[in-house]
Amino acid sequence: MSPLARVFDDHVGEMTIAVVDGEIDASNAQEIGDRLRASPTNHSLALIVDLSGTRYLDSAGVNLLFELDVELRQRRERLHLVVPEPSPIARTLSIAGVHAAVAVHDTREAAVEQAAVADG
């Protein structure tokens, strides 16, 4: 895994939570993307990507999130992001229009709750 970021997996019911800690940029977006794509199980209904610990996200990272959303929808899964409002990347995601395509939540608990409602 890139020294700029680490990805950790957790599971809540039929949902996979991938926690990204660090920075996502052009140097590691492909590696992070591969890791996120491998996170859901065959039984996952949703992938929650917790970006609470993500300190930097450039256009390669934004593109990764859009691509991941499309890929998950094709598999009838949903992408949910956890991005607390004071997060350093919240403004980047807002400007890029990620909120219009992907469900963005302030907390992991809210993401899990909404993913369960949307997928259940």
Q: pTM for this structure?
A: 0.93
All structural domains of the chain with their residue ranges? 22-46+56-79+113-120
> Could you read off the pLDDT of 5-46 as tens digits, one per residue?
999 998 888 789 999 999 999 999 999 999 999 988 777 889
> Could you read off the pLDDT of 36-84 as tens digits, one per residue?
999 887 778 899 999 999 999 999 999 999 999 999 999 888 999 999 9
Position 120 pLDDT exceeds 70: no
Task: Say how many residues make up the chain.
Answer: 120
In DSSP terms, which residues pair with 79 in a beta bridge? 47
End-to-end CA distance of the chain: 33
Mean pLDDT on 93-118: 93
Task: Tell me which DSSP letter residue 21 carries.
Answer: E
